[in-house]
Amino acid sequence: MRLGLRLVLGFFLIVGLAAFFVMRVFVDEVKPGVRQAMESTLVDTANVLAAMAADDLKAGEITGGRFARDLARVRGRDPDAMIWSFPKERIDYRVTVTDARGIVVFDSEGRDLGRDNSRWNDVYRTLRGEYGARSSPEAPGSERTVMHVAAPVFDPDAPGTLTGVLTVAKPNRSIEPFIEASQRSIMRQGAWLIGLSALVGVLMTWWLMRGIGRLNRYAQGVAAGEPVPPPPPRRDEIGDLGRALEQMRRKLEGKAYVEQYVQSLTHEMKSPLAAIRGAAELLQEPLPDAERERFARNILQQQLRLTETIDKLLALAEVEQHGWLQRSEPVDLAALLRQAAEAVEPRLAATQLRLRIEDATTPVEVSGDAFLLRQALANLLDNAIGFSPHGGTLTLSLQVEAGQARVRVRDEGPGVPDYAAARVFERFYSLARPGNGQRSSGLGLPFVREVARLHGGEAWLSNREGGGAEAGLALPLL
């Protein structure tokens, strides 16, 4: 199971369980809370009615007196009330009055007159000066219950003398809609809470996994030897880890890079140094002027070769050390082509070569580093000039194809041998020039390839039909 899924499930499990138990507590507390509130109102009602019934109970007119008439009128009233979207259309109270022995002497519904209620908890405790209340089934075997709350009836002329007990009863089913509505509301709000918590968990996991995923892709790229940019900077532990990995990569790659280049440079310097040493030893001997001049010229050529190798090696090392462009801006390739063509005019004149420029009048913009692109174009032209026959023609063109700007340099030289086709972009690999048999540093085309990679493009070198070679550079358009 992937880490992101584990984080989401873990977060949701913790929040979900916590929310579930909290909701269950709220839901379970709704019913007793509402009943306690109802009991409190019944206590008030019972005591008010007990005071109102005291005169009729003492006078023996409790069944036909004013108290009974008023209650009868109350039972016939329609409250016409809307409570929490629930209509209330009738009075749910039932009032019973017992004498001091617990015998029912008044029943608002007229059912239990003469019954001994002294054993019921509400009457029993009230007759003994305590708070009396009970909850009993509406009918034998019924699951619905009725709450009874009692209040003592005192003699109006002798305060403290108990003359009876008044009980107010209210069915619990009358408050069930409110209990259920409260529970549904809690469950609905709880569902929203869990949903929002899950969304927060997903967003937090996505935020964390995005950073971890970038680190993972970066580490995988480094392990595969690919030049990849470091993860974007962040001000947290993931950002610290990314910076530490980048520093570690730079140190490790820097060490390996230096070792590799020292070995390559040492290998490439052996041949020119050997030639210089041999010529220098011969120059110490008496030689004819022509031979002395030839050996001196050979020393100068080998020195130029060493200088060119070192300069190009430094330029290649600079671009290879970067996995991404250090500077990027809109660049007009058409203008760069014209500048590169002007820069090689002296060499073209010396070898009597002609350069034809095609399709480079309309601006074609790419995003990149103008200096590196100019150097890459110069290397392509240098390579084409070196392999072109005396008096030949070079063609430099720029086309837009499939969302790319494609620069092509065509020559009329011998082309690339089959055995060298797969190696032309290898560092230090070069072919002898057809005119003089000399070889270049073998670093020009690798430089072009690295510049193309930094710009998200590609470089190629292939033979043309009918003779000659074509070198090219493809870059994504801006």
Q: Rounded distance, CA 283 to CA 306, Å?
A: 20
Lowest mean pLDDT among 6-20, 127-141, 281-295, 365-379: 6-20
For residue 257, pLDDT beyond 50: no
Whether domain 233-323 has CATH 3.40.50.2300: the reply is no
For residue 363, pLDDT beyond 80: yes
Place 39 in a pLDDT band, splitting at 50, 70 and 90: confident
User: Which position has the higher pLDDT, 6 or 69?
Assistant: 69
Whether domain 325-478 has CATH 3.30.565.10: the reply is yes
Rounded percentage of the chain residues whose pLDDT exceeds 90:
23
User: Which pTM value belongs to this model?
Assistant: 0.45
The letter for the amino acid at 317 is A
From the list 311, 328, 418, 426, the residue with the least C-alpha distance to 375 is 311
Place 314 in a pLDDT band, splitting at 50, 70 and 90: low
For residue 154, pLDDT beyond 90: yes
Based on C-alpha coordinates, what's the Rg of the chain? 51
For residue 375, pLDDT beyond 90: no
Q: Any idea where the domains of the chain sit in the sequence?
A: 3-181, 233-323, 325-478
For residue 268, pLDDT beyond 60: no
Mean pLDDT of 157-166: 91
Q: Rounded distance, CA 291 to CA 81, Å?
A: 126
Helix (H, G, I), strand (E, B) or coil at 355: strand
**Average pLDDT of the chain to the nearest whole number:** 80
> According to the model, what pLDDT value does residue 46 have?
94
For residue 322, pLDDT beyond 60: no
Greatest mean pLDDT range, 138-142, 247-251, 377-381: 377-381
From the list 175, 465, 442, 460, the residue with the least C-alpha distance to 316 is 442
Cβ atoms within 10 Å, residue 404: 16
> According to the model, what pLDDT value does residue 463 have?
92
Contacts of 192 (CB under 8 A, 6+ apart): none
Q: Rounded distance, CA 275 to CA 278, Å?
A: 5
Mean pLDDT of 177-199: 74
For residue 445, pLDDT beyond 80: yes
Rounded percentage of the chain residues whose pLDDT exceeds 70:
78
User: Which backbone phi and psi does 403 adopt, to 5 degrees?
Assistant: 75, 15
Lowest mean pLDDT among 133-142, 159-168, 437-446: 437-446
Per-residue model confidence as pLDDT tens digits over 63-100:
889 999 998 888 877 777 777 666 776 788 899 999 99
User: Which position has the higher pLDDT, 443 or 458?
Assistant: 458
> According to the model, what pLDDT value does residue 324 have?
60
Topology, domain 3-181: Beta-Lactamase (3.30.450)
Place 148 in a pLDDT band, splitting at 50, 70 and 90: very high
From the list 162, 146, 141, the residue with the least C-alpha distance to 57 is 162
Taking the mean position of all CA atoms in its chain, how far away is CA 203? 6
Tell me whether the CATH fold assigned to 3-181 matches the one assigned to 233-323: no
